[in-house]
Structure 1
Amino acid sequence: MILCAGESLIDMVPEGAHYRPLPGGAVYNTAIALGRIGAPTGYLWPISRDGFGEMLLRPLAEANVDTGLCPRSDRLTTLAFVTLTGGEARYAFYDEGSAGRMLAPEDLPEIPESVSALFVGGISLVPDPCGAAIEALVERLHPRVPVMLDPNIRPFFISDETAYRARLERLLARADLVKLSGDDLEWLMPRASFEEAAAAILAKGAKVVLQTGGSAGARAHWQGAPLDAPATRVEVADTIGAGDTFNAGVLAALHRSGALSRDGMADLTPETLLQALTLGTRAAAITVSRPGANPPWQHELDALPA
């Protein structure tokens, strides 16, 4: 089972003069996408007992995502008000004292042996105590399972840049797969090219650094020559959840090939990695073709032209 640990929230998406509440959150979106395309998936994050918490649980259940590790909380659900500019999403978070924000390392449950990989990232890495909890989970699991990290950096959410950079450095040293967008790179290593950044991260121990570029497709930097997968051409509604869905496609493809294990990551082949990139870009294309974070089901991927 692929365990996704990190934020869920409600995206308040503009709809005319009003806002429409939609379940979201970077790590939550990846869990939903994994479940919809048939990968065995678990989710770990506190879920509020408020009405928004129930709204978050419903898509997880529909996608067959295991929520047995999710503690329930009387604290409120995080809200993210979305502004769309040219299809690009920007966010304002209402998060102080929320159910997820207050997750502490001592609140982490025992992780079953059925967990075979861990995915973390997003804003859950930024504040404490939840950032410390996710870091503690990575520290606990990375000796036995592959870890994928997508920092999905939101600069306006970071109040202590020094502490956050230090946490990312520690996490990068424990990640097997790292995904970076152009925005992530600009904040993380502002004077570096993607090639330079990837080389630096690979030197820390990662097996693959995934570079996403929207309509430019995706590239994998690893021990061999870089591999590229083109973007699938669609009419873009907005980009909410695109990178999260890409992550799910990559993880699902690696799981299906048997590569999502300690031994499998050590023996990656170009064919396996290219299949993962391709599923990631195809899945993301369906997500951007419709409003909000609404990842595809497997039957929708099957119907997409080759």
Structure 2
Amino acid sequence: MKIVVAGAGYAGAVAANRLARKISGAEIAVVNPSSEFVERVRLHELIAGSGIATRPLREVLDDRIELRIAAIEKVGDGALTLLDGKSLEYDKLVYAVGSSNRAPEGTYAVGGLDTARAAHAKLADLAPAATVTVVGGGLTGLEAASEVATERSDLTVRIVSDEFGASLSSGARTRALEVLRGLGVDIVTGTWSPDDSADLTLWAVAGQADTLAARSGLETDSAGRVAVDSCLRSTSNPNVYAIGDSASVPGSRLSCQAALPQGAAAADNLVRELTGKAAKPFSMSFVGQNVSLGRSNAVIQSAHRNDVPTRIWFGGRPGAFFKEQVCRGALWSARTGNALWVRGPR
């Protein structure tokens, strides 16, 4: 039995490590274009120079897992065609390639490792009074703007969006914007234009699905994410499970909060399938959202089980401490194959 996990982000890593722990006698391989494990929740730290966001992937994966560094050209029936022309056969595939980080020319996507590194190098070379524009008012944008403003108080930092912190409650949103203003960030309501004269532009808009699934003939949704059944199996190929940002899971959103339990659940269902047991429908509830606002500040927002924010939130240094533990917990899950989550309402 040959099991291949395509992609080694949070979802892929937790699935691979869980499979290695639960299955004996099977060959398990991970194919990933990079030899590094990327903590995407820390990429804004890498850009600002306040932290690191990578570690060797080999250190994250179980020793029993074969690691293949390669990009995938196509997903075939029983084999992957790699960009180098070679192939990798599989009996079961866990598709976890994540989302792409395309950004307009001249901007740097916050969510991509290569672009984050390039943005860090450019930021380090900026002279005092230079301007940095962050495009996107979601949590990624808020984190990027506050991190850069904290680490480079000599720069002019602005954030541009039609709305800011829309997924937060009114009180939490107000607090986050107060912190940004306190750091000197200009909050610009409106649409970003390519004519913006910033010395560095960070693109903090949600990533899109990779085109690999669609061009491989897997059934996808309108956004290009793999269509899955309630047990996270591809609706067009029963030998493929799809998880994380690349899967169209009803009621989910792009986040490691969703990716980790999906990876664990897909691994468990694959084990059940191989041992002749019935797969279990995936079910989870969101519990909240966390946004760091520099190394010593954050906003922690609680949520109802349907992901609607409650009026309960907290911030400041306790929030920053909490957010750090969440980030460390995500890495722990990826390394161990363990994931904790609240099941969805019946």
Q: Which bin holds the TM-score, normalised by the shorter protein?
A: 0.3 to 0.5
The structure where helix makes up a greater share of residues is 1
The structure with the largest alpha-carbon Rg is 2
Normalising by structure 1, we get a TM-score of 0.36
Structure with greater contact order relative to length (CA < 8 Å, sep ≥ 6): 2
